[in-house]
Chain A
Amino acid sequence: MNGTHLRRLLRVARREYLERVRSKAFMVATVLGPLILGGMMIVPALAARKAAAPLRVSVLDADGMLLGPVERALGSLTEGGTPRFLLRPAPQAPFEQARHELREQVLRGDLDGFLYLPPGALAASQAEFHGRSVSAMMEMRLLERALAEAFMRVRLTREGLDPARLGALMRDVDVRTMRLSTEGAREDHGAGFLFSTVLLFAIYTSVFMWGQALMNSVIEEKANRVVEVMVSSVSPETLLGGKLLGVGAAGLTQLMAWAATVGLVGLYVGGSAVAGGARVPEVGGFVLVAFVAFFLLGFFLYGSFYAAVGAAVNSMQEAQNLILPLMLPVIMAMMFFPVVLRSPDSTLSVVLSLIPLMAPLIMFLRISVLMPPLWQVALSIALTLLAIAGVVWTAARIYRVGILMYGKRPTFPEIVRWVRQS
């Protein structure tokens, strides 16, 4: 490609870019996107904070010997410095009457629930929780843990162990998940996992949103008949190249705007509870570079297909049937994504990440979860680039014939003939 062609390709790209970023739809999506994404991050954080209001409970012990240890165990449970349970003394009354009174308190809303330890609770390892809402799983599990610990203490004390030593003996095991990389181990709060998924879906939706935008623009150019003026000035290949570049740049701009906004919101919400107690994930610079690179690879690959489809048809409706087969590899990639997420190093994951039609999604996912060997990344990119070259070449031929074809939608064999003939 000589200088003239390149200059004109960039002119076309500039126009396509400006038309897109100046449109109202772009502005709206660029502003609303982060709001929605941000909302998805902030709302659970706020919800988690609200749920953190401690539960008011009483303990009713039929045998009397468990009350102390259970109350101590419940009282020691804290989250972010605030206790999870506020203990209210049970009414000083005969047993059945006290139970009745507690039930009344719960129903009135003065109490969130009470723990009932029936006679022989220790031997049977049984307890009942009476509350208006028994669906809060988190609280139930905490409660179970506290009870198990209290029961254990009592039993061990009865076996003759020194109560003072029990604290040290029964210390919790703190399991932390560590993310290994060549730069050394770092603690990962599980948000990395979530973030990988979010980024994967961002690539997935962006590639298709912008591929669709490219297709629409080809169809519109055809419908407005402006395409004949265009191809009398620039070659169809230059026009296609310019459109790919311009629309791709617009897509990238939007992603960058989103990333910046989400980043700022993340900073603002701070290291405090983002998405239920998880920290703002640490994302390596390499993952961000990979994110941009694989978005562009995916867009050029699928965008060329979309452009070719746009050139072959007369309207959006006609395009739908031709697009469906294009979506299959992507749908497959999305089906495999949990498997790859779980074992990013398995043979299956490696193979999938090398297949060009899936590579932009799967290889990126692998990089974001567990950095694969560099040669695999390089091979995946090389294969995808090769596929892009082939697709662009084919698409340019379909494009050249298709943009001037009006009337009946071509059949698939007809499109194949276009590719062979032109």
Chain B
Amino acid sequence: MSKTFGTHRAVRALSLEVPRGAVFGLLGPNGAGKTTTLRMVMNVLGPDSGAIEILGRPSDQGGRDRVGYMPEERGLYPRMAVEEQLVYLAELKGTPRAEAQRRVGPWLERLGLSDWRQRKLNELSKGMQQKAQFIATVLHEPDVLILDEPMSGLDPVGADLMRDILLDLSRQGRTLVLSSHQMETVERLCDAIALIDRGQKLLDGTVAEVKRRYGKNTVVLAYEGDGSFLTKVAGVERLSDFGQYVEVRLTADADPQVLLREAVARLRVSRFEIVEPSLRDIFVAQVTGHGQEAA
């Protein structure tokens, strides 16, 4: 599908397939078209061309009712009581009122909002509002969850809680689509990903597949001393400095042992490990490469 705003082509002939029951990560840098894509899935925006299917049916009202959508721009009614609001939003998704009222209690309990159920939303902290927004997304027990940047705005405790809940929902057989530019989150949760940039798909597949395709010639190196010479070592394609350690990507034909010898000769090496590339590394490499092609 495609979408153009004025002269800006936000999404260009993008084709995505999310396997049923998967935890799917939609990755991309800011402005890649992630939010626009999800909005088209939810019919918030109409695509200029292309078609959308949800659970094997054309995306119509009935199909969208089986989806829970948490937009990137969070928003609820500020002057409406939390519980009343959640029940209302579930009703708009087709859940009978009594059913929604029964379900809301356990969810509020689980996310620690029980004491706030009668309060107006704007009396809640940002983090609590975020949790309320999440309940609004799941209260109608959707088969598919689309969460735009689900972890943003959560503290580490909240993020862990969110991750547990997401894994739970996944185990119940629900399909999860997470959009993010936070690779660590996605790497730990997702089975499959798609990486998009400037409205186009750069790669997709299961996380294992993507990493395999990218090759097993990445080295994690931790050391003491001045490692600035490492980029000039033969066979080093790129180096990402994480502070405590560096991740070094080698060219396909390079021998990691060369790098090790050079490093030991000039640094105190505390860790040397040949690893699968992190999604972050793949992300950066792909997006940078794509940017250069486009430029």
Contact = CB atoms under 8 A, between A and B. Distances in A.
Nearest to A14: B88
B94 A232 contact: no
A228 B94 contact: no
A224 interface: yes
Interface string A8-35: 1001100100010000000000000000
Contacts of B93: 233
A4 B61 contact: yes
A15 B75 contact: no
A232 B71 contact: yes
A228 B43 CA distance: 10
A225 B92 contact: no
Nearest to B90: A233
A320 to B, nearest CB: 24
B81 to A, nearest CB: 11
A62 B44 CA distance: 94
Chief secondary structure at chain B's binding surface: loop
A225 B89 contact: no
Contact of A226 (B64, B75, B94): B75
Interface string B59-91: 001001101010101111111100000001101
Contacts of A225: 71, 73-75
A228 B44 CA distance: 7
Interface residues of A, number: 21
- The bracket for how many chain B residues form the interface is 20 to 34
Contact of A15 (B42, B45, B74, B88): B88
B92 A233 contact: yes
A227 B71 CA distance: 10
A233 B89 contact: yes
Contact of A229 (B91, B94, B136): B136
B64 A232 contact: yes
Q: Could you say which of A5, A228, A234 has the most chain B C-beta atoms within 10 Å of its C-beta? A: A228
Contacts of A228: 39, 44, 71, 73, 75
A4 B74 CA distance: 26
A404 B45 contact: yes
Interface string B28-72: 000000000001001111100000000000000100110101010
A235 B45 CA distance: 11
A224 B75 contact: yes
A298 to B, nearest CB: 28
B69 A232 contact: yes
A232 B76 contact: no
Contacts of A233: 64-65, 89, 92-93
B248 to A, nearest CB: 42
Given A228-B44, A229-B89, A231-B44, A4 B73 contact: no
B77 A234 contact: no
Contacts of A231: 42-44
B89 A232 contact: no
Nearest to B68: A232
A235 B69 contact: no
Contact of B75 (A12, A227, A234, A235): A227
A29 to B, nearest CB: 17
B78 A224 contact: yes
Q: Which 10 A-B pairs have the closest CB atoms?
A: A225-B75, A226-B75, A232-B42, A225-B73, A233-B92, A228-B71, A232-B69, A224-B75, A231-B44, A233-B93
Interface of B: 39, 42-46, 61, 64-65, 67, 69, 71, 73-80, 88-89, 91-94, 136
Interface of A: 4-5, 8, 11-12, 15, 19, 224-235, 404, 422
23 contacts: A4-B61, A8-B91, A11-B88, A19-B79, A224-B78, A225-B75, A228-B44, A228-B71, A228-B75, A229-B69, A229-B89, A231-B43, A231-B44, A232-B42, A232-B43, A232-B67, A233-B64, A233-B65, A233-B89, A233-B92, A233-B93, A234-B92, A404-B39
Given A233-B65, A234-B92, 12 more contacts: A11-B92, A15-B80, A224-B75, A225-B73, A228-B44, A229-B69, A229-B136, A230-B92, A232-B64, A232-B71, A233-B92, A404-B45
